[in-house]
Structure formats: structure tokens, C-alpha cells
Amino acid sequence: MTLVDIKGLDVGYVRHRRVTPAVLGLDLTVAAGEVVAIVGESGSGKTTTANALIGLLPANGRITAGSAVVDGIQTAGASERTLRRLRGSVVGLIPQDPMVGLNPTQRVGHQIAEAVKLRGLAGAAVQAEVLEHLAQAGVPDPELRARQYPHELSGGLRQRALIAIALAGRPKLIIADEPTSALDVTVQKRILDHLGGLVHEQGISLLIITHDLAVAADRADRVVVMQHGRKVEEGDPATILRTPREHYTRQLIAAARPVVPHFDVRDQVAPEPILQLTDVSKTFPVNDLRRGARGFNALDKVSVTVPRGQTHALVGESGCGKTTTLRIALGLETATGGSVVLDGDEISGLSWNRLRPLRRKAQLVHQDPFATLDPKFTVAQSVTEPLVSFRIGDRRSRLQRARELLDQVALPHSYLDRLPSELSGGQRQRVAIARALALRPDLIMLDEPVSALDVLVQEQILQLLADLQAALGLSYLFVSHDLSVVAEIAHTVSVMSHGRVVEQGPVAEVFTNPKSAHTRELIDAIPGRRVVDAA
Amino acid sequence: MTRYIVGRIIQAVVVLWAAFTLTFAILYLLPSDPMELQLAAAGIQEDSLAPDQLAAMKQRFGLDQSIWAQYWHHLTGVLHGDFGTSLSQQIPVSDLIGQRIGQTLLLSAAAATVSLVAGSLLAYLATFARWNPLRVFLTRLPALGASFPQFFVALFLIQFFSFQLGWFPALGTEGIQSLVMPVVTISVLTSSVLAQVLIKSFDETLRQPYIVTARAKGLSRSAVHLKHAFRNAALPAMTILGVLVGLTVTSSIVVETVFTREGVGKLAQEAVLAQDVPVVLAVVTIAATMFVLVNLVVDLLYPLLDPRISHTRGRVRPATPEVVTT
Amino acid sequence: MTVTIADVVTEDAPRPAEEAGGRRANLVANLVQLARKPVFLLATLYVLFVIVSAFRPKLFTSFGPYDTYPESAAQAPSAQHLFGTDIYGRDLWTRVLYGSPLTIKATLIAVGIALVVGLGLGILAGFFGGLIDAVLMRIIDVLLAIPGLLLALSIVTALGYGTIPVAVAVGVAIIPGFARTTRAEVLRVKTLPYVEAARAGGASWGRVLLRHILPNSWGPVAVLAVLDAGVAIIAIASLSFLGFGAAPPAAEWGTLIADGRNYLVTAWWLSLLPGVFVALLVLGLNHISKTLQELTR
């Protein structure tokens, strides 16, 4: 039986009295009990499709053509009243970001009870159902959690509370919009497993919206690939992975790389280190009015070595201390203890002025492409700024250098006059890399340089980094939470957890034969089993 | 918890003391000759006095003492409720204010209540009106209300409701009738200020993802607005209550002058005209006290209303939204 | 290099490839966007008109501000006398225009004081942080604790009457807003990655402050300055209405309105028309500030 039947759906957004199409001529069905995944990059129209289904498009969103029938009810052009009867009771939604998806001033239990009461229940039965749904969603100690406010719960628990809300309406279909992108991989895996089991048990259909082909392939009965608002390919995961018809799908599959280490330096003699951190500790003061000032240990005796001309990666989940390590290595943060040796010079404890000459040796590329460039600086100004800071060359020679740098990151010279607002995310990241190269450094510190980019753009930037390393003999300290990215670019790796290094060694060794339980858990959590099977 | 409350109270007292000191410094240290100011206030020409008379005058106003002695004298006086003697009327300032403060408090309280109701209502309608042109109109309305000088609003009301229609008296303090137009005058400004802050807050709240969660549950529009949006939007707006109360107090200066009401506001206007320094100092001190007290109450209540804020953490409440008023 | 330029260009399909990139194109695009807003244009024209009339009132009227024509006293508005005439037969429109220089000058002084002091305090507090920030912000708290108009009245009491003291008083009263806005902006920009990248690139704090933090912080401050110009106009008019402004026969707007209130019954236009003139100016500034705010967002 078909639960969702979309035919020729066009959705657009009205901007300046013009309709910009977001979804074009989409056909899609979801059968009862089926798990369907829509895969696409940002701007592919996947979230718009989901919102259109339950009439939750933003105020300027319009369905301009086609039909979308959910459980026998036409939702295209339907009145608010009709749509409201669908929401919750027929279609449940798990929104994108669990951190902000719950009302901060209402207790969690109350928010679930609201959904329960809409089914006509009242009195003590409501509370019992609330606890039941929380338990179903995998929340331990539901009585306690129901009484708490969202800010008292972790991200994973909030995600589970949102799942409980979606379950509370007893829907026939649950839409999970990027259900995991805001969470750590291990939490991601546990929640997706749980959600998959739940819908299977209760016979609920599931529509997963994701940018990650691996996630989609692992969990869906059918995968729909979207690009620029159109469906480009559809089929069961095995077929799509083995015999993709479209070039775009092939690119996505290539980008959903399994964790196969690219470099193997197990039997090689490591080159001499360019950067060596020994027993670095960092304590942040935490002001607590009740208990007085006390320290929070962000790093506990971390030792990391970056071999010259190679890439060393720091991996771990959020809050494990990897970014703090990088900032200390760069002298942006001072360590509480330990030593940092950059190219033979001890830099920890150096004043800004003493450190300054050493800055030419190590540069930074930041995670967020939208904040890494000064919005008021043209590309030429951004790229040459380090030269100006170090008073290198004159105007003409700097401009000449800027052209060279753009060549190196494969951007046309005509981009020199552009402002960041005129660049895409990937292009901004290229400019940030060019800026880091300006002083001809030996070492570049990369703080999650690709995690905010779409998968295909990620691939291009990683390729660029590898090419630059080969051409210029650069060393990288690469911080990432994404093991597949690390496998592709790094020679050696340190796995971090709670401010400590739990495992260290060549990527080929650590990833194929993990020694610590934490590393194993991280590797197990990586989606893409079916991708590997299909390969 | 107690530690937080005590700390917050001490902070309020310090701010109040600093505000008093600052006002004292402005009034007594700026380049005008205090003796001349005070003689002018008493209606005496300085030239007409013999040197010994002058010395006697100085002694009478305490001006023969050092500035520190004067400051100390005033500060200890204020703590005992003694604001010195009015220069122009020769009676204790506390008596002058005591006679008039009731009028002003009544006016301020009425105006604060009206603007709270009117401002919230306007903001609610402006955000949730379904008909687009009406919504645009209501959203723009507060800017209009805040653009008219208060004395102009007052004169317009007098012209229209007193002279044309004859509904309300143009002047005086008699009866509830006389209170209507002054309250409306003040509320036009204060409710506009409140509505602007609230509309902005609603706007931001409605864009939050948890509103989508609430709608996806199948809640009706009004349930989403009342149960999820209203509280979250109203919380940050609470922090401007202090500013609003301060505004009703300063508004009483203009309004009481136009409507010839014998309140503290009109007293302040007359005191400035007569350069009656002790009276000005007293009025500023009282207004600052009201502002600090309201803020203190808001600070103490806020954590009870917003579960995210706990007394044990450093952050106490969100920053006050920027409100541009004088 | 293995990555070709063709690859890069396909990377961002939805972005229009503009011929002329860079600052100028950006500025032009912004101006075009503004020019398409009729209300904004109207507001700007009105504000410009008032400013021009403040310096060259003769352009817009053929009467003198003190010319009396007893035979045409207290006439209602007409084609000849746009705002009517007062009881001495002086043309009110002319009196309003000649009142502009005093008020506009006072406004500029007030906003100038607030801008310089507020910006300075805000940058110091936001940039250096720590103890300096704590001390400066406590001072601002104290200034805020004294309601604006009362603070201004205290200053007027001490300095005496006249346009300049009133301007200074109003300027001091609106300092806190500027200081807090500047501080918030500096704090926000200071932690952004591009500031960190500049530091990592060897830029000194001075350079970071001048080239990165200030250019990216001043937008909201400028918006506030336009908005506060309106607030200052109201405050200055209120103070002169209360009788603390320029001495007669010179007439600021507030004084004109105050003088007219004795004739409300017989000649309503004496008070109400100058009031509308002032309110429109404030409303115009208000709207300009709001539009700029939306643009910079």
C-alpha cells in the first residue's frame, strides 16, 4: 500500500517577487513500512521536499505544480486545517538539529505530553504514555528525564526526546531530516540503529533525508538521489552502489569512501619531526560560584609528533581536546605544562613578539569557510595580508605573489577583486589555503578544513591539499572528526578522547588493527558497510 | 542562591551610590560658580551683598565647607531621608517631594500598566495578524509612536479632546478624568518602545527550530503561539522593564509641565529653571533608585522564570535589548 | 596541478558569475537595492531637505524670520503662508526653517559627543577585556541608572541654558547606548576566525583592530547613530520646550511649539504644524536607520 505518492511536484521560494525553483518535477513514493532515503548535497531540494509533504515550508515557499498525496490526502494546496490533521498523527518529524529542536523553557515530558494529548487522551494516561514513548526512544530513566529541561540533556538524549515526540502521535510515517549530522559518530550510530529497529517493529515508514550516501545505503530499502531539485537516480541500495547510471551518483559513491588508508608508512623510517608536542597539558579555569574557582582539564599530557613532509591527523569526537591541541601548537593558546618544539625551536611560553618570526613557519586554515575570510577584504587583500604583516615586498611583488597563490589553489586570476560574499564555500576554503601558503610555511595546521563542505567539494579540497603537499613538501597537522577523511589524507594519526591520546601510530596500522576500545568504536560507527560490500 | 541574592543587592546599592556621586559631581563640580547659582536660585544679586553678608550666605548653604565635607553632608543626609533645603522655596526638599510624589507615582504606575498591556497587545497583533497589510501596518506603528515628541502628543490631545470635544480637562489634577490624557501621552511612547522590543523578539523566536517541532506535532497555530512562542519571546523583553519605568518617570517631567499637574516632574522642571541644585539632586536620586529597584526585582525574578538560568553559574540573564530613548 | 580551473567553476553552479566583482560592484548593488525602496527615498529626501534648509533657509522661503506683518496676524495655513502666521504676523514656515540650524547643530554636537566617547569606551572595553572592560561597563551601568532626560537636566542645571549646554547634555545621555553597541560588536568580531587567521599570519593587534575589527564593527554603530540623531532631536526639542534652550527671539523647534501652546484654541497650527515637521524628521531618520540595518544584516 502506498503511503506517500508524490507526482510531478514543483516547489519554489519567492524572492524579490520571483520564484526560485527548489524542487522540479519530483516523483516519489513511500510504501507502508518502507524505509526510503533521499540523498543530496545542500541545495538539492531534499529538505524542501520533506517540508512540503507536511506543509511546513517557510513563509516564502510555494508548491507551484504537481501533487503530493499522503495517506490518501492531497497536501499540495491543502488548507492549514487539513495539514494539521496529518501532522503528528500521520506524519511525525524529527528535525535537523537536536540542540535547538526542543522548547528551552518547557520540561521534556510536557512537550511529549502535548503530542499525546492531541490524540484525545487526558489525565494519568498521558503521563504513562509519555514515559512509554521516552523508553521506546531509548531514553534511560524516563521519569527523571521527563521532569528535566532540554538544556539539562546531552545532544543524544535530546535527539531521543525528539524521536519520542514523533512517536507520540502514533504516526504512519516518520521523516528524519539529517537525523545525525549534529551528533558524534558513535552517538549517531546508536540512534540510527535504534530508530531503524523501532520503525521496523511498529511497521512505521521512514523517510531519511541525508547528505551522506553511506548513511542512506546502510539503512534504506530504497535510495533516491537528488541534485539541483531533480531526482537523478532511484533504486535499491545494492543496485545503485554496484551499477550507478548517473555520473553524479558515481561521484557521490566515490566520495562516500570506505575507510581505506591511502598511505602506508608502517615499514618506513619516519622523517625527522617538524613539530613535536611533549606532555602538553591545559587547564581551563572554570568559575563556579558555589564551589569556587576550579580547573577543567582540557588536555592531559598530550604528546604528538608531525613528521616533515607528511600529514599527522588528530581525530576524536567533539570536546576531546583536538582543537585545543592545535591552537596550542600554533601559539594561539598557552599550555599549562609541557613543551612545543617547532622546527627545532621551543615555542611554549614565548611572548607574542618572540613567537612572531616563527609564525612564518606554521600557518592555519580554519573550519568555517563563511567566517574565515574578512567580509570586507577582497581575495587579493586576504591572500597578501600575511605579506603585509611581515612587510615582505612592495605592492607589485605582492600582487604578483597573489596571482601565483591563486594558481596554486586553482582559482582564476579574475577572482582577485572578489569579496567573500561572491565565493562559494569551497572557493573560500581555497582562498584560506592560499593565504596560509603566502609566507611559504613548512607546516599548515588544518582545523576540520572540509567538514562544512559538501562531499564532492570535500573531495576536491582534499585532492588540492594532497597535490600541494607533493609539490611543495608541506607538512600538515590535520584535525578532523571524520575517519574516512583522515584515512584518505594522513600518514600518521593520534586518536584522542577526553583530553588524552588513546592511540597513536601509522594510519594503516591504527585503522586496520585498532588497539584501544575507543578507536574500535569510532571505526565501527562509520557508515558505509554496504558501500564496502558493494566495492 | 542566598549568595546570588546578597551579591545582586550589594551591586544595586553600589550602582545607586555611584549614580548619586556622579550627579553630585555634575551639579557641584562643573564650571559654574555654585554660590552664584544658589544666590540666583534664592533671587538675590551677588553684587548687592556686603562681604560679611556673602560669608553668612555661604555658611547658610554650607558652601564655606570643602567639597568633600559637602558631599559627606549630602550623602549622610540622603541616607536619613534628608535632601537639604530648597534654595528657591526655603523649605526642606523632602517635604516638597513628599507633597508631590503621590501624584507622580500614580501617574507613573498607571502609565506603566497601560503601556505594558497596550505594548504587549500591539506586539501580539502585529506578529500574529493573518492579513498581511494589517500586519505590516501594525509592525510600523511603534516607530510612529516613538517619533512624536511627547509634548506634541500632549498638545494634540489637549487640542482635540479638550478643546474640540471637551471630553477631558486640559489642566489640573482633579479626579480620574484629569489622569486620562497624561497617561495616554506617556503610554504612546512607552508602549511603542515595549512593542518594538517584543515584535523583534517574537520575530526571532518564531524562526527557532523548536517552533517547527511544535507545528509538526499538529498543534494549532494559536497553541504554538501561546504555549511556545509567547513565553520565550517575552522573557528577554522583561529586561527592559527597568528602562520602561525610568521612561515613565522622565516622561512625567514634560507631561506634568504641559498638563500643569503638581507632581515631582513639574517640580524638577521648576527646579532646573530656578537652578535649585538640592531639588535636582533629590529628584535624580529618587528616579535612579526606582530604576535600580525595578532592575533588581527583574534580576531576582528572572531565574525563576527561565529554567536555563541558574543562580550558580556566572551568567545571570541575557543582555538588555538595546533601547534608544532619553 | 591536477585540479583544473574548469573543475573549480563547476563546483558552485548556483552562484551567478558576475562580470564585475569586488567592492565597487558591491556598493553599486547596495545602492540600487536602496533606490528601489520608495519610502526610503522619500525619507532620505526629507532629511536632506531639512539639512539643506538648515544651512540655506532662503532657498525655501521669501520671508524673514523676524519680519512682522501685523495686518496678517494669526492667519491659518494657506498657499502664501504654508504653516500660517503667528500672532505677530510672522510666517511660521519661515520660523520653522530658521529654527533648523540651531536644532541641527545641537543634534550634530550631541551625536558627535556620543559617537566619539561611546565608540572610544566601547572599543577599549571590547578590545582589552578583563579589568578595563569590567570597570568601563560598570561606569556605563551607572550612567544608565540615571534616566536620560534627568541626566541631561542635571547637566543643564550645572552648565546653564542655551543650545550648546543642551546639546552636550543630550550627547552625554546617549553615550551608554553607543558604548554598549560598540563593545558588543568588537567582542563579536574579535573571536571570528578571520581575526585569528590574521593573528596567525603575524598581524599585530593594532593592525587587526584597524583593518579587521573596526571596519566590521562600525555598521551597527552607524545604524545606531542615525537612530540616535532622531532621539537627540526629540530630546533637544523637549529641553527647549521646557524652557532651557536658546533665548528669544531665536526660536528652536521646541520653543516654537511651546510658544504656540497658549493659542491652541484660536490658532492650533502654531503648535501642531512645527510638531508634525519635527515628527516627520524623526520618523524619516528612524526609517533610514531601519533600512540600513536590514541591508547590513
The mean-pLDDT minimum among A442-456, A502-516, B19-33, B232-246 falls in B19-33
What mean pLDDT comes out for the span B242-260?
A: 87
- Judge if the upstream peptide bond of residue C249 is cis by omega within 30 degrees of 0: yes
* CATH code of the domain made up of C37-55+91-296: 1.10.3720.10
What pLDDT shows up at residue B74?
83
With vertex at residue C189, the alpha carbon angle to CA A430 and CA A289, rounded to the nearest 5 degrees, is: 125
For B217, the closest of A104, A151, A169 (CB atoms) is A169
The closest of B287, B240, B296 to B12, measured between CA atoms, is: B296
**pLDDT confidence tier of residue C7, bands split at 50, 70 and 90:** very low
CA atoms in the 13 A half-sphere facing the CB of A457: 24
What is the 3 state secondary structure string of chain C?
A: CCCCHHHHHHHCCCCCCCCCCHHHHHHHHHHHHHHCCHHHHHHHHHHHHHHHHHHCHHHHCCCCCCCCCHHHCCCCCCCCCCCCECCCCCEHHHHHHHHHHHHHHHHHHHHHHHHHHHHHHHHHHHHHCHHHHHHHHHHHHHHHHCCHHHHHHHHHHHHCCCHHHHHHHHHHHCHHHHHHHHHHHHHHHHCCHHHHHHHHCCCCHHHHHHHHHHHHHHHHHHHHHHHHHHHHHHHHHHHHHCCCCCCCCCCCHHHHHHHHHHHCCCCCHHHHHHHHHHHHHHHHHHHHHHHHHHHHC
Phi, psi of A503 (to 5 degrees): -155, 150
Chain C interface mutation, best of B147, B181, B322, highest count of C Cβ atoms under 10 Å: B147
Give the 3-state secondary structure of residue A439. coil
What pLDDT shows up at residue A286?
57
Spatial strand order of the sheet with A273-286 comes to A294-307, A273-286, A337-342, A345-346
| DSSP state letter for B92 | B
DSSP letters spanning B45-82: -GGGS-HHHHHHHHHHHTTTS-HHHHHHHHHHHHHTT-
What mean pLDDT comes out for the span B292-311?
A: 80
The answer, for A523 touching chain B at a CB cutoff of 8 Å, is no
- For A42, A489, A520, the CA distances from A185, given in Å and listed in that order, are 20, 19, 12
The closest of B224, A181, B222, B22 to C176, measured between CA atoms, is: B22
Residue A341: all three cell numbers together? 618544539
Cβ contact, residue pair B144, C282, below 8 Å = no
With vertex at residue B321, the alpha carbon angle to CA B315 and CA B322, rounded to the nearest 5 degrees, is: 125
Is the pLDDT at B28 greater than 70? The verdict is yes
For chain C, how many residues are written?
297
For A435, the closest of C26, C201, C212 (CB atoms) is C201
**pLDDT confidence tier of residue C248, bands split at 50, 70 and 90:** low
User: Which residues in chain B have Cβ-Cβ distances shorter than 8 Å to C234?
Assistant: 147, 149, 326
* Domains located in chain A, CATH noted: 99-170 (no CATH), 273-373+442-534 (3.40.50.300)
Percent of chain C with pLDDT over 70: 84
Give the 3-state secondary structure of residue A205. strand
Please give the residue of chain C at the shortest CA–CA distance from B146: C283
Residue pLDDT, tens place only, B182-211: 999 999 999 998 998 899 888 888 888 899
Instruction: Report the alpha-carbon distance of residue C208 to residue A345 in Å, rounded.
Output: 26
Looking at per-residue confidence, does C68 or C123 come out higher?
C123
Beta carbons within 8 Å of C295's beta carbon, 6+ residues apart: C30, C33, C34
pTM: 0.82
Contact C286, B146 (CB under 8 A): yes
What pLDDT shows up at residue C6?
31
What pLDDT shows up at residue A401?
92
Q: How many CB atoms lie within 10 A of CB A77?
A: 11
Domain with CATH 1.10.3720.10 in chain B: 93-310
Amino acid C36 reads R
The closest of A424, A468, A415 to A446, measured between CA atoms, is: A468
What pLDDT shows up at residue B48?
66
Q: How many CB atoms lie within 10 A of CB A17?
A: 5
* CATH code of the domain made up of B93-310: 1.10.3720.10
**B136 vs chain C: nearest CA distance in angstroms?**
14
Is the pLDDT at B114 greater than 90? The verdict is yes
Cβ contact, residue pair C243, B283, below 8 Å = no
The closest of A114, A371, A404, B141 to C198, measured between CA atoms, is: A371
For B27, the closest of C157, C228, C275 (CB atoms) is C157
The closest of B271, B273, B237, B266 to B250, measured between CA atoms, is: B266
User: Which residues in chain C have Cβ-Cβ distances shorter than 8 Å to A351?
Assistant: none
Find the helix or strand (DSSP H, E) in which A442 lies: none
Beta carbons within 8 Å of A157's beta carbon, 6+ residues apart: A139, A145
| DSSP state letter for A171 | -
**C45 vs chain A: nearest CA distance in angstroms?**
24
Contact A406, A455 (CB under 8 A): no
Give the 3-state secondary structure of residue A233. strand
DSSP lists the bridge partners of residue A68 as A6
Average pLDDT over chain B, rounded to an integer: 81
Contact B241, B301 (CB under 8 A): no
The radius of gyration of chain C's CA atoms, rounded to the nearest angstrom, is 24
**Residue ranges in chain A modelled with pLDDT below 50:** 288-293
Q: ipTM value of the model?
A: 0.82
Q: Which residues of C148-158 are buried (b: 16+ CB within 10 A; e: fewer)?
A: bbbbbbbbbbb
Give the 3-state secondary structure of residue A196. helix
Contact B189, B324 (CB under 8 A): no
Instruction: Report the alpha-carbon distance of residue C259 to residue A476 in Å, rounded.
Output: 77
What mean pLDDT comes out for the span B130-137?
A: 84
The closest of A375, A97, A324 to A209, measured between CA atoms, is: A97
What pLDDT shows up at residue A243?
84
What pLDDT shows up at residue B60?
65
Cα A134 to the center of its chain, rounded Å: 27
Residue pLDDT, tens place only, C83-105: 777 766 677 787 788 888 888 88
Give the 3-state secondary structure of residue A15. strand
Please give the residue of chain B at the shortest CA–CA distance from C179: B322
| DSSP state letter for B320 | P
Cβ contact, residue pair A89, B235, below 8 Å = no
Beta carbons within 8 Å of A135's beta carbon, 6+ residues apart: A142
The answer, for A15 touching chain B at a CB cutoff of 8 Å, is no
User: Which residues in chain C have Cβ-Cβ distances shorter than 8 Å to B283?
Assistant: 150
Instruction: Report the alpha-carbon distance of residue B235 to residue B250 in Å, rounded.
Output: 25
**C88 vs chain B: nearest CA distance in angstroms?**
21
What mean pLDDT comes out for the span C101-115?
A: 89
Cβ contact, residue pair C244, B247, below 8 Å = no
Cβ contact, residue pair B156, C272, below 8 Å = yes
**Structural domain boundaries in chain C:** 37-55+91-296
What pLDDT shows up at residue B321?
52
Contact A139, A111 (CB under 8 A): no
**C164 vs chain A: nearest CA distance in angstroms?**
38
